[in-house]
Structure 1
C-alpha cells in the first residue's frame, strides 16, 4: 500500500514550531505534499527530513507567499515546475513528480479573494491546469492533490446558503471544478464517503474550528482508471498547526500497475 499525504501548512516555518516534525514522522507517508510553504530558497534546509528527497517550488513574485513542496521516499524520474504559464508559475503553485507508474501533482490553486476580484486570474489558471493534467493523463495515470480552494457541492461546507457568492463557493469556481472532473478525474474522498460532511479548512475567526464550521477545499483526485486502486481517503482533522488539516490517500500499488497494463492494451 502506498500512502500519500497533502497539507496546506500556511507557512512551513510557523508550523514547524507547532509539532509538525512529529506529525510528519507519525504519518509515515511515502509521498508528502505541502502547499503555502511561504518560503524562499535558503530559508530552511533543502532536505529537512533525511529519509525523503525534497522538491521545492518557490514564489518569485514576492517573499513569504504561496509555494509548494513534495517529500518523497519513492524514486523520482523527473520533476516539473509549474504548468507552462509564466504568471501562474511565478507564484510557485504547481509541482509535478513523475514516478514510473504515475504522475503526482500538488497544487495551491489561487484564491479569488474578496469580491471575487481575482476570479479572472483564477479561471485562467483553472483552464490551463485542467489542460495540463489531461496532457499528463495521456502518458500515465495522475494523482492530484492540494488546496484546490473550492467547496464543490453544498455538502462540502457548513453554511452553503450564506456563502453562495463568496470566493471558494462561487458558481464559476464550482463549475470549473466540475469541468475538471469531467475530463477524467475522480474526487477520492467523495468516492468513498459520498454523504459524509467533513471539512479540511476552518477560518481562524469566530472559533470556527472549535465549532466545526468549515469547508472541504483540500482534495486528492485521481485519473478514472486508478479508481480500483483507491483503498482509503481520509481527512485528518485531529492534526493541528494550520487553518487546514492534512488529507490522506491510500492506493494499492499492485492495482496501479494493473491500471497501467490495462491502458497499454487499449
Structure 2
C-alpha cells in the first residue's frame, strides 16, 4: 500500500489561486499524483464552514478522477477557515470514516484536526497537531492534547494496527532540526513537546523514517517560508511523520521525504507498507 501525507497550507489557494506560491503548490500536487498513492492525507486545508465549494469539487475531480474524498472543517466556536483536514483514497477502497474528538482543551476538538479511516485489518488516521504558538501561549493546552491524542491512538492499536500521519508540530530529537541550540524554547522543540512525542511512541508506535533511515541528518519536512533562505540553506525541521504500530514496523518498505523543489513550508511524505 502506498500512502502520502502533506500539509498543503490552504486547499483553496492551491486549487484556485494564480499566485507564484500556488503555482509551486500545484506542481507539488502533480508530483503526488504521479506516485499514484492509494491514500492521500492533507492537513491545513483552511476550508470555509461550508466545506469544499462546487468549484473545489470540480477541480478535485480533475486532479483526482479515481479518488473519493472526505474532509473535516473548523467549526464554531473555533475560527473560520482555520486548520482542517482531508483524506483522498482510491475509489475501489471502502473505509469506515470517523471524525474523532478526544476531549481536547480550548477549541481544539472543533478545529477539524483529525480524521480516521478504518479498513478491515488496519486503521489510517491523520492529525494536524495544534501549534503551541508565539510565546508558547498554547503550550499548556498542547500538552493536554498530546496526552489525549496518544490515548486515542493506543485505543485504536488495541483493536488493529495503526498507520498515523500528519503534521505533529514537533521535532523529536536534535537531529530533527538544523539548529537545535537556537530553538530550545521555540514552539515545536520544547522539552514538553518532545517528551509528549516520546510518550506517544512508547505506547507502541514506530517513527518509520527513523526505522528506515536511522540517524541520518539533514532530512527535513518543513522550512520556514518567512525566511527566504531557509530551504536554500536547508535550515529545516522534521515535524511531519508516518508512524505505525510497532508490530507492523517490519512491513514498512519505504518512508521517504518527497522533493517539493523550491517551495518552502511543508513537503509531502511517502509511506509504502505491505499489509494484508
Q: TM-score scaled by structure 1?
A: 0.90
Q: 2:223 aligns with which of 202, 214, 235?
A: 202
Equivalent residue for 1:211, pick from 216, 230, 233:
233
Instruction: List per-residue Cα deviations over 1:221-264 (Å, max 9, x = no partner).
Output: 00001112101000013355551000000001xxx33xxxxxxx
Q: Structure 1 residues 162 and 56, CA, compared in 2 at 3 Å: closer, same or farther? A: same
Question: 77, 80, 83: which is aligned to 2:101?
Answer: 83
* Equivalent residue number for residue 18 of structure 2: none
Instruction: Please state if 1:251 is matched with 2:269.
Output: no
Query: Are 2:244 and 1:232 equivalent residues in the alignment?
Result: no
* Aligned CA-pair RMSD: 1.6
Q: 1:71 is matched with which residue? A: 88
Deviations 1:86-105 (A, max 9, x none): 63221000110001111000
Inter-partner Cα distance in structure 2 for 1:98 and 1:76: 9
Q: Name the residue aligned to 1:22.
A: 30
In the alignment, is the contact (CA less than 8 A) between 1:151 and 1:174 conserved in 2?
A: yes
Aligned equivalents of 2:12 and 2:141: distance in 1?
28
Tell me the number of residue pairs that the alignment of Structure 1 and Structure 2 aligns: 253
Tell me which residue corresponds to 1:102.
122
Question: Tell me, which stretches of 5 or more residues in structure 1 are unaligned?
Answer: 258-266
Asked whether the equivalents of residues 83 and 89 of structure 1 are also in contact (C-alpha less than 8 Å), the reply is yes
Q: Give the secondary-structure state (helix, strand or coil) at the position aligned to 1:45.
A: helix
Determine the C-alpha separation between the residues in 2 that align with 1:236 and 1:30: 16
Residues 117/124 of structure 1: CA separation in 2 closer, same or farther (3 Å cut) = same
**1: CA distance, partners of 2:200 / 2:177:** 20
Q: For 1:95, what is the secondary structure of its paired residue?
A: strand
Please state how far the C-alpha of 1:33 moved relative to its aligned partner.
0.3
State the shift of 1:21 in Å. Answer: 4.3
Q: SS state of the match for residue 237, structure 1?
A: coil
Tell me if the contact between 2:224 and 2:264 (Cα under 8 Å) persists in the aligned partners: no
Runs of 4+ deviating beyond 3 Å: 238-242
> Are the counterparts in 2 of residues 10 and 242 from structure 1 also a CA contact under 8 Å?
no
Give 1:116's aligned residue.
Answer: 136
Counterparts of 1:96-175 in structure 2, within 5 Å, are 96-175=116-195
**Residue ranges of structure 2 left out of the alignment (5+ in a row):** 16-21
